[in-house]
Amino acid sequence: MHPSKMYRLACFEEAAGILHGLAENEGSLVAHIGQIHLGLALGMEESLRPLIGRRITILRTNLPDKSYLFREITHEPN
């Protein structure tokens, strides 16, 4: 995966979609989520790798030591 443009979330911004893959690019982890290439911290790779192929959300926060929170979406809201 060679992203043409890497997007970075602003504080309290969230991205959601199917995690298609992960790659390293210029010292960042690049997550291909839905139609975007999202730049993340390299340290997240081990936690995100098992979620490839699943629908997830990633939220950028201002919490010390937890810049990003993520979870798998297991069902659609009613």
pLDDT along the chain (78 residues), means of 10: 75 96 92 94 94 96 92 79
Query: Six-digit token pair at 9?
Result: 């979330």
User: Which strand (E) or helix (H) includes residue 28?
Assistant: strand 28-33
Q: How far apart are the first and last CA of the chain?
A: 34
Q: What is the pLDDT of residue 26?
A: 84
Q: What is the pLDDT of residue 75?
A: 75
What amino acid is encoded at 54 in this protein?
Answer: R
